[in-house]
Amino acid sequence: MSKRQSSKYKIDRRMGENIWGRPKSSVNRRSYGPGQHGQRRKGKMSDFGIQLRAKQKLKGYYGDVTEKQFKRTYQEAAQMKGDTGQNLIGLLEQRLDMVVYRAKFAPTIFSARQVVSHGHIYVNGVKCNIASRRVRPGDVVSLGKKAKEMALIAEAQSLPEREVPDYVAADGTDKITFVRVPTLDEVPYPVKMEPNLVVEFYSR
């Protein structure tokens, strides 16, 4: 398993919802916030607080990407034609670690990033260990020889709580083709994501 077991579920508890839809999440048992003051009564949230929460939830879902990376992705989405919120989701879904997670080559987004950084993933037949690499429509993502025998990947492929979405076309158990950049409605989020609030947060 990826080494971030406790920390990743802390994100769940801070948000107050099971953002990856995983059955092991501690938010299922303890629905209050983490830490010493987690059970305190929460005051009414300001508009800024609501926008910040939406941003932290989206950022956390994608494996807690750094603020610098996330903001750069937002700036790129803002410069593209069309709806900035939709563009932002499209760009985040094109990250190589996310495509690996969607293809069920890893049980969590954190372990997907680890599988990539350890050199187990090939894009169009070339090894790639950069998790933030952008996958283009038509690109073929496959597992290396060693990875096919890893227990972690076998575990991921047997997970009942996630299905491979339509924009990722599976070819056997070790190869997928990234078909198209998805829209917000196509992305199988277990909880409601609000990229429009993220756009409001950054355009203050």
CB-neighbour burial class of residue 23 (10 A; exposed 0-12, middle 13-18, buried 19+) = exposed
Token readout for 189 is 């989020």
Question: Confidence band (pLDDT; 50, 70, 90) for 198?
Answer: very high
Query: Is the per-residue pLDDT at 150 higher than 90?
Result: no
Give the CATH architecture of domain 95-180.
Answer: Roll (3.10)
Pair of tokens at residue 90: 């499209």
* pLDDT tens track for 103-146: 999 988 888 999 999 999 999 999 999 999 999 999 999 998 88
**Which tokens hold the place of 177?**
């083709």
Give residue limits of the domains in the chain: 95-180
pLDDT average, residue stretch 159-172: 86
pLDDT in tens, 62-75: 987 889 999 999 99
Locate 97 and state its tokens. 């670690």
| 138/176 Cα distance (integer angstroms) | 10
* Cα separations in angstroms, 126 against 21, 104, 121, 142, 176: 32, 20, 8, 9, 14
SS3 77: helix
Q: pTM for the complete prediction? A: 0.83
